[in-house]
């Protein structure tokens, strides 16, 4: 497995782990924390998608911009 694939795998694992955290928060009715965990699960998943297509940003605004430009504004 090359470095790029490792990064993608790591980010997808983080997305899944964070999604599971959101489910725990939902069961306990911690809605703000649940929403936060869902946001980060999406952030990690989109970061993996961007990495797959050789886009990368360390900032949330950059991830949103790349995603919108390359996957939404088609």
Give, in order, the Cα–Cα distances in Å from 38 to each of 5, 6, 65, 68, 74.
23, 23, 19, 19, 25
Q: What is the pLDDT of residue 13?
A: 98
Please name which of 21, 58, 57, 62 lies closest in space to residue 39, comparing C-alpha atoms: 21
Model confidence at 74, in pLDDT bands (50, 70, 90)?
A: low
Q: What is the pTM of this model?
A: 0.91
Over the stretch 24-59, which tens digit does the pLDDT of each residue have?
Answer: 999 999 999 999 999 999 999 999 999 999 998 889
């Amino acid at each position: 497995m090359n470095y790029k694939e490792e990064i993608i795998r790591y980010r997808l694992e983080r997305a899944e782990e964070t999604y599971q955290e959101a489910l725990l928060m939902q069961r306990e009715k911690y809605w703000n924390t649940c929403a936060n965990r869902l946001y980060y699960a999406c952030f990690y998943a989109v970061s993996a998608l961007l990495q797959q297509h050789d886009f990368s940003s360390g900032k949330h605004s950059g991830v949103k911009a790349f995603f919108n430009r390359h996957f939404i504004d088609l």
